[in-house]
Structure 1
Amino acid sequence: MSHLASPATFIGADAQLATDISTQLEAVERRLYEVTEQTRKLPDTASKHLLAAGGKRARPNLLLLTARLGDAHCEAIIDAAVAVELIHLASLYHDDVMDDAPVRRGAPAAHEVWGNSVAILTGDLLFSKASGVTAKLGPDAVRVQADTFERLVLGQLNEFAGAPEGADPIEHYIQVLADKTGSLIATSAQFGVMFSGADQALAEPVRLFGERVGIAFQLADDIIDLTTTSAMSGKTPGTDLRERVPTLPVLYVRAAAAEGDESAAEVVRLLDADLTSDAALEAARAALAAHPVTIRARDEASRWAEAAKAALDPVPEGLVKESLFAFADSVVSRTA
């Protein structure tokens, strides 16, 4: 459990709240291992591969925090936290296959260990486990999960297809992020209210907070892909560039080049080169990271974090709201 993010990173000075959430996260962790248990060695080992590699558990953290708008100490809250983390873990197995990413959380990606077929099937297995846990929470939870799963898949499909002809590529990209990243973070925040007996009028504000903070989270992740080392992030730097993912810095630099910015045009030339070799990838990564468009993209991530905070206007003042604000701030200030 040493890989869990400390709740204190976004709860601030309230040591008791941080301790309470840490205790619940330990229960979530135990339940994750129980739910993913398999009798055969291959599915059992593959299912636990990324779970054992650790991770920040950001989605359970957020769910356990919003649950404190009601009664957070109930079985349904633990189950809800397990469900959202299983969905997230499942999506990572699929993402790594699509991205051909060799490393995840500092460990070899599952497809590097067992091949694409096992990695994809393991992701499917974890999705099925998440559905079983969610079913215990009732039909409303199943409906929300189904909608979330649809958005996760559509986000990936729309990213793959690219912006339709005549569409604004930046607006298209933000919608992709809202679907493939924001939707599950939104559901995590929403589930905390739904199953804690909190005022259900707060479900939509925290859901909107989660979606917006998810966009900020992914925009920050795009920048981390450019500016950190593998040792810091647990992922290979520049993977998005090699896979030709049109992240916000890339979209910004292409737009600047189209408007006649010569420095941007030079970056675009490097981006459009053959990035198979590590040297070519590093040259493109370093050039884009050093260009002002990356600062502009970081500012956009901060803007979405502020928009997330604004969504919380209906939430009562207090420690939970303050902690959600700190959560939004931590998303864009992180370096890994």
Structure 2
Amino acid sequence: MNILNRFQSLVSDEILAVENLMRQQAQGYNDDLQAALDHLISSGGKRIRPNITLLVGKLLNGDIERLITLSAAIELLHTATLVHDDLIDGSLLRRGIPTLNSKWSPAATVLTGDFMFAKAAKLAADTNSIPVMKLFANTLGTIVNGEIAQMFSSHYVGDIEMYYKRIYAKTASLFETSTKAAAMISNANRSQKEYLRQFGYELGIAFQIIDDVLDFTSNQEKLGKPVGGDLRLGLITLPSIIYFDKNADDNLTKEFFKFGCNPPIDILEKLIQNIRNSTAIQESFEKANSHIEFCLKALHHLPAGIERDALEELACYVTQRTI
């Protein structure tokens, strides 16, 4: 059994219940909405966020039905953000499977994402926890604000601090919510809630850094999009930041910025290959590993048991994954 299967095995039945609950959200609505939701849920995905929520909740002896509802809310919110992301980026494939916007008009795609946001909010309300509802709303606001900031500043090469703010909004905020909300509806004390928040934050940051590394080191078949896809969109991620910082006087770097981060394709291809073969990849990977170390330190303040062991394995998986 590989590391992915090991941490998933403890909550496999609950994950099936989460997926069923997600599918039920379109019952009684337009048939096309049901078809879209079925397509998105069946498109795969590792269900990392609901796995985290369920494992944290079980570690703290939380009510399993509320945890399933919360997990469905979080995963539906995550899926809705992907629907909008794919439309914004013009992505026709995700994990090698056609995206919703490759089949539908932009208007229909946006409305489907909106529907999913609404149903995710309803599921969050079904946990009967006002703090969870507030957290859920604030997290959605953080994600949208991050997307807007990225849209209007994608061609700006900021420092590492700006990069961290961006990936917190994009990814780590929902990881943080996955752990924090599970603690809220379970038997967690104040210190446990804070350690779980730290765990979710550090895990989410590491997850996104590895995503940004894989954007350069993986292949088109695995990514479902061209290698270096972020840079092709003018989006500067950690490997690019490190590379540009070390190669500021390089002709390719100068050409890239001379063309406003949208250079001719031959320059872009050479630059992507240079970043791919540079020390920026290993340095980014080491940065992700440092966040996993912080993540594990926070986890060690929580009760020992098979759920904590599974969360440790999940954290280690983040930097070992190839997609």
SS at match of 2:299: coil
TM-fit CA distance, 1:92: 0.3
- Alignment of 1:195 with 2:185, yes or no, is yes
Distance across 1 between alignment mates of 2:49 and 2:175: 6
SS at match of 2:186: coil
- Going from structure 1 to structure 2, the CA distance change for 1:75 and 1:317 (only over 3 Å counts) comes to closer
Match of 1:244 among 212, 234, 237: 234
Distance across 1 between alignment mates of 2:9 and 2:47: 15
Match of 1:117 among 107, 114, 120: 107
TM-fit CA distance, 1:73: 5.2
Give the root-mean-square deviation of aligned CA atoms: 2.6
Match of 1:302 among 273, 277, 289: 289
Aligned residue number for residue 219 of structure 2:
229
Aligned residue number for residue 176 of structure 1:
166
SS at match of 1:220: helix
- Going from structure 1 to structure 2, the CA distance change for 1:73 and 1:234 (only over 3 Å counts) comes to farther
- Going from structure 1 to structure 2, the CA distance change for 1:126 and 1:189 (only over 3 Å counts) comes to same
Aligned residue number for residue 325 of structure 1:
312
- Going from structure 1 to structure 2, the CA distance change for 1:163 and 1:281 (only over 3 Å counts) comes to closer
TM-fit CA distance, 1:142: 0.7
Aligned residue number for residue 252 of structure 2:
266
- Alignment of 1:157 with 2:148, yes or no, is yes
What's the % identity of the aligned pairs? 29
- Alignment of 1:76 with 2:62, yes or no, is no
- Going from structure 1 to structure 2, the CA distance change for 1:149 and 1:269 (only over 3 Å counts) comes to same
Distance across 1 between alignment mates of 2:131 and 2:235: 35
Aligned residue number for residue 9 of structure 1:
3
| Structure 1 letter corresponding to 2:317 | S
| Structure 2 letter corresponding to 1:9 | I
Distance across 1 between alignment mates of 2:245 and 2:8: 44
Distance across 2 between alignment mates of 1:72 and 1:230: 41
Match of 1:108 among 98, 103, 112: 98
Verify the 8 A CA contact 1:70 1:199 in the aligned structure 2: no
Verify the 8 A CA contact 2:59 2:305 in the aligned structure 1: no
Deviations 1:46-103 (A, max 9, x none): 2333222111110001111111222255210110010000000000011112222221
- Going from structure 1 to structure 2, the CA distance change for 1:54 and 1:163 (only over 3 Å counts) comes to closer
Distance across 2 between alignment mates of 1:308 and 1:190: 14
Verify the 8 A CA contact 1:79 1:133 in the aligned structure 2: yes
Aligned residue number for residue 3 of structure 1:
none
- Going from structure 1 to structure 2, the CA distance change for 1:52 and 1:282 (only over 3 Å counts) comes to farther
- Going from structure 1 to structure 2, the CA distance change for 1:275 and 1:225 (only over 3 Å counts) comes to farther
TM-fit CA distance, 1:18: 4.9
TM-fit CA distance, 1:328: 1.6
- Going from structure 1 to structure 2, the CA distance change for 1:282 and 1:203 (only over 3 Å counts) comes to same
Distance across 2 between alignment mates of 1:323 and 1:132: 29
Deviations 1:310-331 (A, max 9, x none): 2234213333333222222111
Structure 2 unaligned segments of length 5 or more: list them: none
Structure 1 residues 47-86: aligned runs within 5 Å: 47-72=37-62, 74-86=64-76
Match of 1:89 among 65, 79, 90: 79
Distance across 1 between alignment mates of 2:305 and 2:10: 17
Distance across 2 between alignment mates of 1:328 and 1:319: 14
Structure 1 residues 33-52: aligned runs within 5 Å: 33-52=23-42
Match of 1:186 among 141, 164, 176: 176
Structure 1 unaligned segments of length 5 or more: list them: 1-5
Distance across 2 between alignment mates of 1:68 and 1:180: 27
Verify the 8 A CA contact 2:175 2:204 in the aligned structure 1: yes
| Structure 1 letter corresponding to 2:314 | F
Deviations 1:283-312 (A, max 9, x none): 433221111111111111111111222223
Deviations 1:255-299 (A, max 9, x none): 1122x4x4xx5366468675675x765443322111111111111
Aligned residue number for residue 205 of structure 1:
195
- Going from structure 1 to structure 2, the CA distance change for 1:184 and 1:196 (only over 3 Å counts) comes to same
